[in-house]
Structure 1
Amino acid sequence: MVKIFSLLSIATAVSAVAAAGLDPAGQFKRLGACPTLGCVFPPDRSEFLAGAHFDVRVEVHAENDAKPNTEYSLTIEKIGNSKDNKHGNNGRAVDFSKWSRIKPDSPEAWDFIYNKDASAYWKTQDGDKNAATQVHVASTAWRRVQIREPGTYKVVLKYNNGKTTEAVWTVNPVQKRKAKNVILFIGDGMSTAMLTAARLISKPHISGKYQNRLHVDKFPFLGHVMTHSLDSLITDSANSASAYNTGHKSSAGALGVYPDSSPSPFDDPKQELLAELMRRRSKKNGGPGGVGIVTTAEVQDATPAAVFSHTRNRDEKATIVDQMIHGRNPVVADVILGGGGKYFHAKNGGKSLNGTDYYSVYAKEKGYKVVNDKDALLKYKGDDPLLGIFHSGNMDVWLDRHVYKANLKKQGTDPTGNGGSALNQPDLDEMVIKALEVLDKRHRKEGWFLMAEAASVDKMMHPLDYDRGLADVLELDNTVGKTKEWLKRHKLDKDTLILVTADHAHSFDVYGSVDTQYFNSFSKTEEDEKKNSIGTYENSGWPSYVDADGDGFPDNWEVRYTLAAGSAGFPTHREDFQVNVNGTRVPAVVRSSSHHHFSIYDANPEDSLNGIHKSGTLPANEAVGVHSLQDVPIFATGPGANLFSGVQDNTEIFHKIAHLLGLGEEN
């Protein structure tokens, strides 16, 4: 039986330790995972891989006119049956600096503000400078800590004359390597309901039975992943992707760190990333391996950046480009493919860090071959590291690249900053296959890890553009099928674990079908009649989509019978259940006049002109739909695939991948 620590084993191991308080209820917090005035990061119940590097920070807070007591201490002890003889504490609490043999950073102090509740938050948003609460902080940090001996540890912060904050940490053992390669496909925002809908519009069915299924439907193992973040029930892409890459939960917007309250977004306590561990894997377990990153978003966007970046703020995209090759322990991936060209240069609206030409820097300093369109990508046959950037921002979606191509003719989308349009972008499958070719050439012996993201599933579900979102789900599924074929041809299929999952979900679902011909026969004022075009239960007949050419996509997207689909969390908008031929939807726009200091959004009068009005379910300052609570599916095939069955926390995905790749180090 595979011996991997789980959340259940953590609970058992610490049963003799007094549990810290449960996560407190409420919407607004002084600092995530810090319910008291004494903060320890990593917080209580954190789980580590033996030998992985991580930073530690403590903060002592005082509110309003009070000042923090700077007389505080941090101790650590190993608990349970075994003793930590290496560090000499023999089960006793020991000063953390002495135990870790790391000199802490100089003590720091700063101030910040927060809102205690919704009333304070909205008053602050409306310009009330007295509604927020001021916090004064005293802090100390230890950098690049390691725990090489598996087990359970108790860390105690003593502060304010006898008050304590305790954190129980569990360190998982290093396992013998079982997989040579791992591919992690992420459909950003992809839910089970989206896969169900994508199957419905693309696969033939007779008497209600599918005659073919999605490629992921044929995977032998299926599990579910819980996506909650460190301090909220609804996650964003940054910290959910970070959980996959670190084994630690984080807060919204954070990449590879536990967010602290310091002014800098780059000094928060870091966690060693899976790719960083891959780069320093022990010789015993095969030596340093390859790393690949593919996305249809900007390569600096949350999910791809989670593979190589450390920052509290995912929007620091210019610095994130620099971190890939100049970070504290830079990943320097073998292949990086996607969008985001404007952060590589300073021409015509470019936003690169300090105006630097990073295309040139990547090429000269790290030997990257740089390509900027589909033809150059497919032509490349070398073994140098490859940087392919194909759009100034996020790449255009499948539906526009293949069906509504006129939407590609936008000035300023060319990735080089020449002011033109990005008319020759590769598909996701073309980028993934090229990444596999590069990784195979550079690391056939050592093995590799590849993260490939279908980013615009999420980016289209936000503006309620369901057709474009489902098309990108199908592109991901077709890419999975072509990847399996490529691995088999190159005799790598038995050595490669393939995972297909999402970082979070949207509340999208299908509740019937729509006769758009009947819908369109009424004016926009005849909403009741329009609603009668929606068929439910026995009247929810099959949609009109057909894939006659067998390419995995509907041949026609402007059909009579479409899906009655929607989301639970949406802004006020109009809905006509039909594809938007002129580009991505903009469901809501800023109200022209408002007494508030923040923006209020109303239905876009130019969107779904003949649609029905839907009053929003979100705060009035939200312009698009939001993520949801749903667990997301994870499909697995290859060595170790059975580990991903059942319900699991998102942090467990990291530990299972790390186990199968033989990452970490012990005494």
Structure 2
Amino acid sequence: MVKVLSFALLSLATAISAVSAQLDRPGQFSRLGACPELGCVFPPDRTNFLAGAKFDVRVEVHGEDKVQPDTKYSLSIRKLSKTDKKNTNKDNKSSKPVDFSKFTKVQADAPESWHFSYFKDAAAYWKNQDGDKNASTTVNVASSAWRNIQLREPGTYEVLLKYQDKTTDEKKVSKLIWNVNAAPKKRKAKNVILFIGDGMTTAMITAARLISKPHISGMYQKRMNMDQFPVLGHVMTHSVDSLITDSANSASAYNTGHKSTSSALGVYADSSPNPFDDPKQELLAQLMRRRSKKNGGKGGVGIVTTAEVQDATPAAVYSHTRQRNEKATIVDQMIHGKNPVVADVILGGGGQYFHSKKGGKSLNGTDYYEAYSKERGYKTVFDRDELLNYKGKGPLLGVFNSGNLDVWLDRNVYKGNLNKTGADPRGSGLPALNQPNLDDMVIKGLEILDKRYRKEGWFMMAEAASVDKMMHPLDYDRALADLLELDSTIGKTKEWLKRMKLDKDTLVITTADHGHSFDVYGSVDTQYFNSFSDSEELEKKNSIGTYENSGWPSYVDADGDGFPDEWNVRYTLAAGTAGFPTHREDFQVNVNGARVPAVAQGNSHHHYPVHVADPRDAPHGINKPGTMSVRENVGVHSLQDVPLFASGPGSELFAGVQDNTEVFHKIAQVLGLGDQK
């Protein structure tokens, strides 16, 4: 019987007194994110692995300025015994350190060397931004990499990197602890749906509920679909090397069980110049693809998003790169990468990276619509009607916009905003007037996965991307509308699962990859607000009611579809974020499209762009001085934990507070992905 580690104790398993943990170093700038010393190993200290999952290892040894790094370093590994972990100084039963190549039976790639530069502090960074090319520090690197490593035996491993600090001639040892966690081969669920409300927080859910659900005497008469999940948890979202995460490495944590660095997808970010050679981590979808028949057989994979299908969150399901913006290559990785995922369903935007016609940006001018069709058998659809009319069983590629899909509020309410040229995903230069909603894509995707993998099971990631994309420009109405679209889709999905008799076989998870610092602090009488001239800002602010004067907003959902019937109402929410650029605010929906809160100042003496309030945005609003660097022109992500809702078999594992990497391990446990061959 395979022993299953308790995920509630997962973090405690790393607290081994025999080895002192490497504390994270304070400061905003570092030589290399997860590399606090001159010698480092990726994966770094205290990494948790799934037994049998594949991963790469890289060693880097650094020398700053004119100092060259040690090239005679050594890497060894040993599995610790229970006595070692109790620090009894009795290591009779423990294996001795073994050369890493001998232990893993994998030879390192040829040694490499390169150099890069970094900034030691904020003063150096900003001097460089203003033109001082001597403000950076050069780092010389010696490196080795081992590819496709597997540790099959659960337990705790000690990894030792020995090298010489050429600055002081001091011999140094970097000591790391890796924990390899078992997971059962027997599945609790055949299927998993992971809904991600990108950037979604508890405060946003509260606001979305407030504007969409009927209430009497301060009590809601209806709840959101998320509210009805039986299990509630919270997820910590930090990056491996920073407080605040971005969508790439936070989504990667859900798909690999490993922390990473901003902009990185499925890799630990090294310092090499090549954004595609960083040490890789095997993806959940790859594990599904190579699951043995004994464990249930190869499983299906579905990817649905309202963003570009190459964007950070969907790309985290199938891509490996240090730079999320390498979108043209990411399209190629889906079908041509090493051990490619080749998902059964891919639905979203991003048409510009599939072709080289007008506005096209495809890799080497390749027609990837044709490549996906001819090489992998995809049926391709380009609008809502084609999507809904597809009744086949073959793999489906649906691309409905040249960029991100337009948001729900413009697709369904302010439809005139769709009349912009260039949105057609085929490069015709025409608008995209018939884009599907999130529920259209999710239900069609599930139908195909069920046809192809009813027996073996499947995994789907479905993202409401523009919760985040509209929070950035402070367009709260559009962000909340997309959150409501996610909630509506969840309800329709659960109905579909029950109708198809799949509800008892399917784990459904709803969470976010990170948060924004959004909250509501009162309500606004916009009629009173608009009655004053632009110069009467004090009087305009008096329209904001707090505490006993924070009356309920005037949104109404009379038709019961889960969305307000009217968005341009008198009483709205007084809402905002903690991290924002200088801008103007009028607390009213922008009927003409997404907000642009700040623009570059034309006469700045700095070498970098300085942003000021966009005079076209909320022209009759109040001024709000920014809270961040003037280089920022939109709002930013925040520190807060994000909510997680779960229902179905295995959902009990997700209760309580957990790290984002633990979500992967729990999904792997539910799907029986342990100890893959």
How far is the alpha carbon of 1:345 from its aligned partner?
0.1
Aligned twin of 2:142: 138
| CA–CA separation in structure 2 for the residues paired with 1:364 and 1:240 | 34
Report how far residue 14 of structure 1 moved: 4.8
- Asked if 1:162 corresponds to 2:163, the answer is no
Aligned AA (2:181): N
Tell me, yes or no, if structure 1 residue 61 matches structure 2 residue 62.
yes
Residue of structure 1 aligned with 2:106, choices 66, 82, 102: 102
Within 1, Cα distance between the matches of 2:663 and 2:320?
19
Q: Is the 8 A contact 1:460 1:469 kept in 2?
A: yes
Residue 263 of structure 1, aligned match among 273, 281, 284: 273
Q: Does 1:484 align with 2:507?
A: no
CA RMSD of aligned residues (A): 1.4
Query: Could you tell me which amino acid in structure 2 is paired with residue 163 of structure 1?
Result: K
1:388 alignment partner, one of 379, 384, 398: 398
Name the structure 2 match of 1:24.
Answer: 25
Alpha carbons 1:246, 1:651 under 8 Å: kept:
yes
| Structure-to-structure mapping, 1:404-443, within 5 angstroms | 404-443=414-453
Contact in 2 for aligned 1:246/1:274 (Cα 8 Å): yes
CA deviation map 1:390-427 (0-9, x unaligned):
00000000000011001001100000001100000000
| Percent identical residues | 73
For residue 467 of structure 2, what is the aligned residue in structure 1? 457
Letter in 2 for 1:297: A
Structure 2 residues without counterparts, runs of 5 or longer = 85-92, 165-169
Cα displacement string for residues 88-139 of structure 1 (whole angstroms, at most 9, x for unaligned residues): x951100000111011100000000000100001111111111000000000
**SS, match of residue 385 in structure 2:** helix
Pair 330,210 (structure 1): closer, same or farther in 2 beyond 3 Å? same
TM-score (norm 1): 0.98
- 2:568 counterpart of 1:558: yes
Name the counterpart of 1:575. Answer: 585
3-state SS of paired residue (2:313):
helix
| Distance of 1:41 and 1:7 partners within structure 2 | 25
Verify the 8 A CA contact 2:305 2:348 in the aligned structure 1: yes
Corresponding position: 1:93 with 2:97: yes
Partner of 2:675, secondary structure, is coil
User: What is the rounded CA distance, in whole Å, between the counterparts of 1:290 and 1:17 in structure 2?
Assistant: 43
Q: Which residue matches 2:613?
A: 603
Gaps of 5+ in 1: 84-88
Q: Please give the secondary structure, in 1, of the residue aligned with 2:82.
A: coil
C-alpha displacement of 1:7: 7.3
Which residue matches 1:226?
A: 236
Report the Cα offset of residue 5 of structure 1.
Answer: 4.6
Q: Distance in 2 between matches of 1:135 and 1:17?
A: 32
* 1:81 CA displacement: 3.0
Q: Give, in angstroms, the shift of residue 12 of structure 1.
A: 3.9
In the TM superposition, what is the alpha-carbon distance from 1:484 to its structure 2 partner? 0.2
- SS of equivalent to 1:18: coil
Equivalent pair of 2:5/2:183 in contact (CA under 8 Å): no
Q: Distance in 2 between matches of 1:370 and 1:547?
A: 36
- Listed one character per residue, the Cα deviations across residues 407-454 of structure 1 (whole Å, up to 9, x for unaligned) are 001100000001100000000000000000000000000000000000
Query: Matched residues in 2 for 1:405 and 1:575: separation?
Result: 24
User: Is contact 2:382-2:398 (8 Å) kept?
Assistant: yes
Scaled by the length of structure 2, what TM-score is found?
A: 0.97
In structure 1, which of residues 157, 171, 178 is the aligned counterpart of residue 180 of structure 2? 171
Q: Which residue of 1 aligns with 2:208?
A: 198
- How far the C-alpha of 1:4 sits from its partner, in A, is 3.1
Separation (CA, whole Å) in 2 of partners of 1:376 and 1:72: 58
Q: Partner of 1:36 in structure 2?
A: 37
Superimposed CA distance per residue, residues 533-555 of structure 1 (whole angstroms, 9 cap, x where no aligned partner) = 00000000000000000000000
- Partner Cα separation in structure 2 for residue 586 and residue 67 of structure 1: 48
1:285-324 alignment runs, 5 A limit? 285-324=295-334
1:467 paired with 2:467, answer no
Partner SS for 1:162: strand
Partner of 2:631: 621
Q: Give 1:250's aligned residue.
A: 260
CA–CA distance in 1 between the matches of 2:380 and 2:83?
52
Amino acid at match of 1:61: H
Is the contact made by 2:4 and 2:181 (CA closer than 8 Å) also made in structure 1?
no
**1:208-234 C-alpha deviation (Å, 9 max, x unpaired):** 000001001000000000000000000
Return the alpha-carbon distance in structure 1 between the equivalents of residues 431 and 663 of structure 2.
39
Q: Distance in 2 between matches of 1:134 and 1:265?
A: 19
1:655 equivalent in alignment to 2:641: no
1:162 is displaced (CA, Å) by 2.1
